[in-house]
Amino acid sequence: MTSKFRFGAALAALALLALPAAAQETEKTLFFYNWTDYYPVQLLTKFEAETGIKVILDGFDSNETLLAKLQSGGASYDVIVPSDYVIPGLIKDGLLLKIDTSKMSNYVHMKDAFKNPDFDPKHEYSAPYLWGVTGLAYDSAQVPGGVLEPTWKEYFEPRPELEGKIAALDTASDEITAASLYLGIPQCTESNEDAARILKLLEAQKPKLKLYSSDTTVDRMAAGEVAMHHLWNGATARATAQRDTIRFIYPKEGTPMFRDNFAVPANAPHPENAKIFINWMMAPENAAAVSNAIAYANAIKSDEFLSEQWRKMEAINMPAEYSSRLVPTKDCGPKARDLRDKIWTRLKG
């Protein structure tokens, strides 16, 4: 995900330091750390009007960035948005506050399919936000013949006419997971041999790319700056709304599925405000407002409030026959994560 709405985390942290503890707790403020371009700012205006709580929004571009911020003890936030596979580690490390989502008044609106998730079985530490998949977006107008095959091969071993016109996401987890799926390697491999195969594939692909970037992806595709982009389905849908020749691929070797969630850091300066916000976001009309604005599905019973345009778009309304291609993102162990970091460092070095 990506954002045009960045605010200075350092300024937020300085503001916190200037306030006594009692004032911080009662202050009508909420520090919100979300994926960039992943929340409609106009909805924050509605929240502020209804609750009197002012929201200061800051953005990050990957789970790795979020983890680094939390682990470093940097600027404090009240609400964060980690992906599913990140949450078990955050809980284990004591970095999340228990919020007991199931006891919130709007919990009754949550779809049954999203209750009792494997990464937080009792919803003690998280509440669902949005979910989607990461696949391939391409501009059919820039592709000879107008159609690409539903395979990661189109991305990792691109056709000559598309070389130099392809954008990769600038996140190790997304790129290495996709490479693993294409090569038939387990997501959480700890094998040096597997790592060498993944690195070889990524290094061979690198000179054929235009850039690595997880920012301004919607604008890039909508403007036709690239012919293909490793991309999230929601970002693809928003770009398609501006450029109707864009298509989305659910790769047959496996299409990573993500579930993003609200959570509260253990050191949140305004935890009660955070709970108010999370409960407010589980109201159907508010959950639908996010989906309508940024084109990702939510976990709330909000269909009556959803826009018809997204229901017609394949990037959002996935054909039923593709469901077998979905692959949940896994929480890999330390050795696998270390191997992934080494691959990425070698690739980007």
Residue listed under structure tokens 């692909």: 205
85 is in an annotated binding site: yes
- For residue 345, CA distances in Å to 68, 304, 336, 339, 341 come to 16, 46, 14, 10, 6
Sign of the four-CA dihedral 217, 173, 137, 292: negative
Q: Cβ neighbours of residue 307 under 8 Å, at least 6 residues apart? A: 291, 292
Which region holds residue 184: left if phi is over 0, alpha if psi is between -120 and 50, else beta?
left
Cα–Cα distance measured from residue 137 to residue 221, given in angstroms and rounded to the nearest whole number:
8
Given a contact cutoff of 8 angstroms between Cβ atoms, the answer to whether 192 and 339 are in contact is: yes
Cα–Cα distance measured from residue 100 to residue 122, given in angstroms and rounded to the nearest whole number:
8
b/e code 93-114 from CB counts within 10 Å (16+ = b): eebbbebebeebebbebbeeeb
341 three-state secondary structure: helix
Nearest Cα residue to 162 out of 227, 80, 250:
227
DSSP conformation letters of 252-301:
TT-EEEEEEEEE-BTT-S-HHHHHHHHHHHTSHHHHHHHHHHH--EESBS
Token couple for 213: 């970037």
Q: Cβ neighbours of residue 45 under 8 Å, at least 6 residues apart? A: none
Q: Which helix (H) or strand (E) holds 153?
A: helix 153-156
CA 176 distance to own-chain centroid: 16
Cα–Cα distance measured from residue 98 to residue 41, given in angstroms and rounded to the nearest whole number:
27
Task: Summarize the annotated binding site as residue ranges.
Answer: 85
Task: Summarize the annotated binding site for spermidine as residue ranges.
Answer: 85
